[in-house]
């Protein structure tokens, strides 16, 4: 019989992870701060623990999916001494440095630490399209591949525990700015009575087509070849962005999503790169990392 695993945190995501394990016949002990949230999993065969201490007695990997870094410490610090020799798989969203801090904490307590970043919403867990990025202990990743595979496609980013989170967060930057840009556009056409639903019907295939430009953009950045032929210049992009800001303001819609992009492009032009490609935005952002 498989050693029972432990799930700490049964919010929307923790419950989905535990449900997938139970559906695959994996014995699971579950715990949640608010006990009511464990009831449904109990009805599906999970052993419901009343305390964290009781939950970790099973011997299998301990899967943590709590709100944030602070709540992870709040739950596991008090039982640290009992976790020595165990595998902790933390799927809570943390920053890269928070993941690294947890890994150091784990080593200090004799715990094997694997960090995970979930690229899915709860209803996608166990379905095609769900992916989870991992970094930290390679042994923990390899030994638990079958379990991790129950949740989605697994990608391992190496022993630096912060790398899964870093890749996750870098991808989410693109997602959030895209959503915000879509909403600004929806507000612009909405000012003239076009519904957001109708706008989404047009915007969706356009954005999908635009993502086809990413490999070329990436190749330019990697080659640092911003002066190469065929690139849309910063000057061209500046004129386009100025028109977009004006059009937004003319419809009475706040252009705050777009203005920072416009400012970045203008700064690169001021620095003398106006005839070079728009991918130079990367250089402006990279420089900002060094304190500008």
Binding of ligand NDP by 33 (CB under 6 A): yes
Shortest Cβ 182–ligand NDP spacing (Å):
19
Strands of 131-136's sheet in order across: 47-48, 28-31, 5-8, 62-64, 87-90, 112-119, 131-136, 153-156
Binding of ligand NDP by 14 (CB under 6 A): yes
Residue 12 or 223: the one with the smaller Cβ distance to ligand NDP is 12
Strands (E), 187-245: none
Binding of ligand NDP by 65 (CB under 6 A): yes
What are the residues facing 118 on neighbouring strands? Answer: 132
Binding of ligand NDP by 19 (CB under 6 A): no
Name the segment binding ligand NDP (CB under 6 A); options: 27-35, 80-88, 155-163, 229-237: 27-35
Of 232, 247, 264, nearest to 185 by C-alpha is 247
Using a 10 angstrom Cβ sphere, with 0-12 exposed, 13-18 middle and 19 or more buried, the burial of residue 262 is middle
Shortest Cβ 41–ligand NDP spacing (Å):
12
Binding of ligand NDP by 37 (CB under 6 A): yes
Number of residues interacting with ligand NDP: please give it, by CB under 6 A.
22
Shortest Cβ 252–ligand NDP spacing (Å):
33
Backbone region of residue 25 per phi and psi (left: phi > 0; alpha: psi in -120 to 50; beta: other values): left
CA distances from 38 to 7, 16, 42, 68, 281 (A): 10, 12, 6, 19, 48
Apex CA 133: angle with CA 31 and CA 113, to 5°?
55
Rg (C-alpha) for the chain, rounded Å, is 23
Residue 28 or 32: the one with the smaller Cβ distance to ligand NDP is 32
Residues between 155 and 184 with contacts to ligand NDP, criterion CB under 6 A:
none
Binding of ligand NDP by 47 (CB under 6 A): no
Residue 38 or 241: the one with the smaller Cβ distance to ligand NDP is 38
Site track for ligand NDP across 201-230, x = CB under 6 A: ------------------------------
Site track for ligand NDP across 107-126, x = CB under 6 A: -----------x--xx----
């Amino acid at each position: 019989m498989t050693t029972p695993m432990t799930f700490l945190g049964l919010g929307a995501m923790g419950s989905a992870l535990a449900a997938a394990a139970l559906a695959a016949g994996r014995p699971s002990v579950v715990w949640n701060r608010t006990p009511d949230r464990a009831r449904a999993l109990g009805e599906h065969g999970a052993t419901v623990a009343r305390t964290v201490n009781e939950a970790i007695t099973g011997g299998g990997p301990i899967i943590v999916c709590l709100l944030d870094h602070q709540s992870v410490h709040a739950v596991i610090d008090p039982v640290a001494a009992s976790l020595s020799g165990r595998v902790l798989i933390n799927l809570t969203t943390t920053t890269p440095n928070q993941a690294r801090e947890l890994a150091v904490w784990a080593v200090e307590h004799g715990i094997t630490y694997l960090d995970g970043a979930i690229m899915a919403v709860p209803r996608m867990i166990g379905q095609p399209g769900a992916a989870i990025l991992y970094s930290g202990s390679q042994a923990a990743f390899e030994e638990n591949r079958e379990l991790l595979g129950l949740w989605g496609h697994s990608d391992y980013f190496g022993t630096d525990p912060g790398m899964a989170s870093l890749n996750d967060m870098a991808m989410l930057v693109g997602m959030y700015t895209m959503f915000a840009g879509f909403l600004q556009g929806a507000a612009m056409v909405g000012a003239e009575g076009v519904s957001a639903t109708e706008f989404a019907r047009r915007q969706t295939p356009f954005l999908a087509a635009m993502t086809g430009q990413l490999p070329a953009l990436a190749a330019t950045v990697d080659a640092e070849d911003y002066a190469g032929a065929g690139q849309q210049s910063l000057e061209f992009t500046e004129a386009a962005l100025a028109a977009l800001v004006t059009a937004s303001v003319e419809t009475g819609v706040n252009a705050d999503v777009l203005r920072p992009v416009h400012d970045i492009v203008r700064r690169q032009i001021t620095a003398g790169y106006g005839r070079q490609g728009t991918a130079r935005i990367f250089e402006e952002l990279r420089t900002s990392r060094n304190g500008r």
